[in-house]
Amino acid sequence: MKNFFFVCTFLFFNNLYAQQAQQPPSPDAIYGQLFTDVQLQKILADGKTFVDCTPKQNIDSILNEYKIQKNADFDLKKFVLRNFNLPITPPLNNIKTEDDITQHIHNLWAVLKRNADVKTVVTQSLLPLPYPYVVPGGRFREIYYWDSYFTMLGLKQSGEIKLMENMVKNFAYLINTYGHIPNGNRSYYLSRSQPPFFCMMISLLATVKGNGVYNTYLPAMLKEYSYWMQGNTNLKPNEANKSVVKMQNGAILNRYWDSLHTPRPESYKEDYETAETTALQLAMRIKVASPEALQRILEENKANTYRNLRAGACSGWDFSSRWFADNLNINTIQTTQIIPIDLNCLLYEMENTIAKTYTQQQHTTQANIFYTKAKKRKAAILKYCWNANKGYFYDYNFATQQQADNITAAGLYPIFVKLANAQQAIAIAKITKKLLLKPGGLATTTLHTGQQWDAPNGWAPLQWIAVKGFNNYNQTALANTIATRWLALNNSVYKKTGKMMEKYNVEDITQLAGGGEYPSQDGFGWTNGVYLALYNIYK
């Protein structure tokens, strides 16, 4: 009977996913040619600005006026400013700089906090949330999925327990409303998710609210799991469907995925130019029978490039040499071919958390089903991502059936979720000390590509994952070194700038971080959270 109950429950959530309320359209769908012209002509300096704008009048009136005027000699920027309200970014730079960095962060929560949203019209891209939440800061005016787990680490240290709980409630709301947690609460983020930390948020909340929260959020956990696993039936070996990949030996693993294959609205010009460059390079290499055939091939190539760029954004590592075929150039991006070590470790944690919750409820059959899923995933991760000769975990390219050859901090996730054994942890520590440990903490990768998720940059979430992971295996000296170097770098930059930054240069600690599609942002949610959490351990 218990097994029957589980099957019915699981089928219910799978069916419920297909019955979500209709998703609101994104700005590119609403504004059409106006949107394309504004973004490609870079009327506003940051591509994310226009997608966050709100119209001052009826959208049909705006579009009709544009249709009439666009062929005339008129100023498109003035047209946009006349018809749209620009998004407001709080002036974080002007906040009083406290001498005590921890006090500064405690005070910042009030600046980064947003009250529950009021229901808005469809022409606004913001997806309203029913409870207060914390945004990262700067151009990031909305909640972000994986950022929020690390932000919550700091909220816990600040005693902001109600706000922590509200963050979890909002994510459960997004799962129940849209079937998954989108990249952020914007309509243009609905086509993808981000690294799935929801179960870990619940575990963090349980440390202050008790284990009852697991029972409360089990339906949402199951529903999110169904999202990541949709399409996993009837696959043949080496086939993929959405986020799911069936490996050569029949094991099921996952990849990052986006349901669309068009330019990201918030980075439209950047994606368009990348795809055009990629298509041009392909056209120079191939010979086809007709111009029509060439055009068809090039359009397919552009769509594939867009899909891979979007999947890279789904990973949170947008962008990194992890996703590039040549480890250097973004126009060789192949994210959807990669089995990412971090994603599969997080899904392993999700399966174990769901199993733990069922065990707590004394539903043994259901618990064993998910423990078995976790056991199989662990075996597959070890088979495809662990390299015993090199002593490290790597991403795996299921299309070429080869491991990646670049060292990245993503290879630390197995010690973060306690998937590795003691010998593997020792080997990982050696590689980390040799190749990733820098004067300011842990570098993201060993390669310098100009992308923000490559050297010389370091990021707060990866420092926490490393410190937590090495402490899991009694590698306390290395954990201490990473933490204290990172805290010292945060302090140094704060003294110079009065800011908590999105990312840091960990190789040359006299320089600020760079790279990426936009300037480095200050605020900053996950940096604040990790700083307070590490400071609490390493005062």
Which residues are identified as catalytic? Answer: 318, 502
Helix (H, G, I), strand (E, B) or coil at 206: helix
Q: Give the CA radius of gyration of the chain.
A: 23
**Scanning the structure block, which residue is given the tokens 């901090």?**
409
Region for residue 238 given its phi and psi (left: phi exceeds 0; alpha: psi -120 to 50; beta: otherwise): left
For residue 241, what are its two tokens? Answer: 């469907």
Sheet holding 402-403, edge to edge: 338-339, 396-397, 402-403
Task: Please name the amino acid found at residue 121.
Answer: V
Torsion of Cα atoms, 291 then 296 then 297 then 303, to 10°: 140
- Distance between CA atoms of residues 281 and 209, nearest Å: 56
Angle formed at CA 498 by CA 492 and CA 503, multiple of 5 degrees: 65
Q: Under a CB-based contact definition with an 8 Å cutoff, are residues 252 and 380 in contact?
A: yes
Q: Which residues of 100-138 are buried (b: 16+ CB within 10 A; e: fewer)?
A: ebbebbbebbeebebeebeeeeebbbbbebebbbbbbbb
Q: Under a CB-based contact definition with an 8 Å cutoff, are residues 115 and 167 in contact?
A: no
The H-assigned helical ranges of 386-512 are 413-416, 422-431, 460-472, 476-497
Distance of CA 284 to the CA centre of its chain: 34
Q: Under a CB-based contact definition with an 8 Å cutoff, are residues 489 and 506 in contact?
A: yes
Q: What are the C-alpha distances in Å from 407 to residues 227, 332, 353, 393, 431?
A: 30, 18, 29, 8, 9
**Scanning the structure block, which residue is given the tokens 């009021």?**
118
Among residues 274, 322, 329, which one has the least CA distance to residue 302?
A: 274
Region for residue 494 given its phi and psi (left: phi exceeds 0; alpha: psi -120 to 50; beta: otherwise): alpha
Cis peptide preceding 319, ω within 30 of 0: yes
For residue 84, what are its two tokens? Answer: 């749209």
> Which DSSP string corresponds to 315-379?
TS--S-GGGBTTSS-GGGB-GGGEE-HHHHHHHHHHHHHHHHHHHHTT-HHHHHHHHHHHHHHHH
CB atoms within 10 A of CB 41: 11
